[in-house]
Chain A
């Protein structure tokens, strides 16, 4: 049976081209995913390699210096903050989310496509991390946090007594107390006064969510009272929400009753209204 199938395929020369293409694509895909995962693993570390710092200094002078000053001391004219005491977490957060560099000094720092490659970001982060030593001013900012893993037996009460790991339940509670007021319960984002946008968390990576409460990207405050375990729990929960079981159908943006009202009136009632028009006499 199988032999006959193979024979049939061999006789069908049309399939050879697609098969070769598929094979090449498979190899390319696996190579890319493997290299990318190694790059990600490196990204989590803050490099102290002098080569990286030197490369970062070059990138800094090209892209950052005009606002943040010669050695990250901040700009008097541009109003850009000093970077000496901001730490690696801030540099990593602003660069990986594409918030920096800004197009113009008075623009709001919003999530954007990043212009740097992961390697360049690692070099820049290394340079900014080394700024306190370079300038000799001392002071230190938060480093890139290590997000604690999820407990193994999620979904049971036993998970709560496990040590060295975080639970989604903890994350959900901490998220509703600390984050949902602005980011909305599902992390869909909202708006504040003075044109301050609260970003949706749907694209935020694990590290980025963990960095934000340490960095406090304005208007978001710095959450000094949260421990690393608590921040890890929140980050794990937010990333869980990206692919959480979502029964009940299409989520219409997860922004609550306003969207539901629109669908009910425009989708449900209008359909029935036309049905009534079809059934009834239109004279």
Chain B
């Protein structure tokens, strides 16, 4: 239908474009790489995108963090706040404060975009950690940590810990009343380590609390050491994910050795890009409309002052809650005392984290399953693991709640002691009850085999000889039915190259309880 001129023009355009890509390709050899990268297939279940929320928050954190670093002064040198130009926060005028705190006040009041960047940085950190917790729970409940992904589970846990520490150092940098109080708590917890605590804490702080060396050190740790570790570990996290390929839920046409989903280009890139825009918009909307950490109200840190309602940011709340709930035990023997904060501050988190680090191997022992898996478990099919996860989530939530006992008691008009006593019992009973409920729920769900809030959708409609209709089964779970005709063709072929570590079995659906 096209004329000769049009065809010639099209050929010209093609040749011009090819010449352009060839110029790059001949020098960098990038086409082969790009072809394989852009054709990579990711399964697109929504829960796999929550990890991306964390990654996108990290990008916002890096961008805003660079801006803040341009104006922050990491110095404990004492200055008198007396700005001669620009906006002045009147109640601080004439007060002695560290240069660091003064720079944060100026950053908030006198630097263009300073306050919104600081607020975005803080909100992004809180959302980052929320996404990390959700992502971690998703991995745990679906058994995505099983062979061959144990290393990535460990890297993920390390990332969580470093990100939380990074958050804490950031919380401490402004040197306001709240951050000073937080540092004092951490100082005491480190000091309580048996035998080495005092030496360690002197080495970290460069002397007694508060001292003048800590703020510059925290700056180096917050801006260089931890970000480098986070970016390094995240790169490893993603490269391993890339190499091992993403896991997926069992379903029609999904096997241990194939992957169904969207190609990176264009579908997945657009989805991920869209999510990234949403993450940054939500963070900046919060930063613009909701105040976070008004350091000017807290005032500069003085070791002899403290404010009521001093809490860490929420992601460290569980450790603070443990310190608040722990009984007043102290052990003395052979002339040496193990101070109280050691048990809730370090021993308890240490034990919990050790169990989490060891979980892939504990899981192998429990289920006697040493094989590699690329298909995920449905949580209901592993009641014990789901029960343990539910118990852990309950424990973490209760401990986090314990961090805000005073705020909760005041706002709900409940007696403070009642809340503490209730939580003291609940942290013991709650996880057990959660385990039992989750375990039983899993068993019931296995029997019913459909989601309690979602009736099975009829997949196949039968017409009876006398003209009636009825539906049978559920296409999502029934191995006896073929994949519905409307699903897109499997992209698995292109991704089968190194086959993951799959066993190559012919099972198409791994859910044992499926079927009708």
User: Interface residues, chain A, CB within 8 Å of chain B?
Assistant: 154-157, 159-160, 167-169, 171-173, 176-177, 180-186, 188-195, 197-198, 237, 240-241, 244-252, 254-265, 267-269, 271-273, 275-283
In order of increasing CB-CB distance, the 4 nearest A-B pairs are A261-B314, A280-B46, A264-B126, A248-B291
Q: Which of B456-515 contact A (CB under 8 A)?
A: 476
Of the residues B44, B90, B310, B417, contact of A168 by C-beta under 8 Å: B90
Interface majority SS (helix, strand, loop, mixed), chain B = helix
Q: Are A173 and B178 in contact (CB under 8 A)?
A: no
**Measured between alpha carbons, how far is A252 from B293 in the docked complex, in Å?**
11
Q: Are B291 and A183 in contact (CB under 8 A)?
A: no
Of the residues A155, A197, A264, contact of B314 by C-beta under 8 Å: A264
Q: Are B309 and A190 in contact (CB under 8 A)?
A: yes
Q: Which of B82-112 contact A (CB under 8 A)?
A: 82, 88-95, 108-109
User: Beyond the given A193-B416, A245-B89, could you list 19 further A-B residue pairs with CB under 8 A, ordered by the A residue number?
Assistant: A159-B93, A169-B93, A177-B305, A185-B177, A185-B298, A189-B410, A190-B309, A190-B407, A244-B91, A250-B291, A258-B403, A258-B407, A268-B286, A269-B131, A277-B46, A279-B49, A280-B45, A282-B45, A283-B45
Of the residues A177, A254, A267, A283, contact of B286 by C-beta under 8 Å: A267
Among the stretches B33-41, B144-152, B275-283, B346-354, the one at the interface with A is B275-283
Q: Bits for B326-354, please: 1 = Cβ < 8 Å to A, else 0.
A: 00000000000000000000000000000
Of the residues B47, B95, B404, contact of A258 by C-beta under 8 Å: B404
Beyond A154-B90, A186-B297, A280-B48, whether A197 also contacts B410 by CB under 8 A is yes
Chain A residues whose C-beta falls within 8 Å of the C-beta of B46 in the assembled complex: 276-282
Number of A-B contacts (CB under 8 A): 225
Chain B residues whose C-beta falls within 8 Å of the C-beta of A283 in the assembled complex: 45, 251, 476
CB of B276 to closest CB in A, whole Å: 11
**Measured between alpha carbons, how far is A227 from B360 in the docked complex, in Å?**
65
Beyond A268-B286, A283-B476, whether A159 also contacts B127 by CB under 8 A is no
Chain A residues whose C-beta falls within 8 Å of the C-beta of B45 in the assembled complex: 280-283
Q: Are B416 and A185 in contact (CB under 8 A)?
A: no
Q: Which of B50, B108, B115 has the most CB of A within 10 A?
A: B50
**Number of B residues with CB within 8 Å of any CB on chain A:** 79
Q: Are B53 and A181 in contact (CB under 8 A)?
A: no
Of the residues B88, B109, B408, B476, contact of A155 by C-beta under 8 Å: B88
**Closest A residue, CB atoms, query B94:** A169
Q: Bits for B415-457, please: 1 = Cβ < 8 Å to A, else 0.
A: 1110000000000000000000000000000000000000000
Q: Which of B171-221 contact A (CB under 8 A)?
A: 177-178
Chain B residues whose C-beta falls within 8 Å of the C-beta of A180 in the assembled complex: 177, 305-308
29 pairs across A/B with beta carbons < 8 Å? Answer: A157-B80, A169-B93, A169-B95, A172-B95, A180-B305, A180-B307, A180-B308, A190-B410, A192-B416, A246-B291, A248-B290, A249-B287, A250-B289, A256-B309, A256-B310, A257-B312, A258-B311, A258-B317, A258-B408, A259-B407, A260-B126, A260-B314, A265-B130, A276-B49, A276-B53, A279-B49, A280-B44, A280-B46, A281-B45
Q: Are A249 and B288 in contact (CB under 8 A)?
A: yes
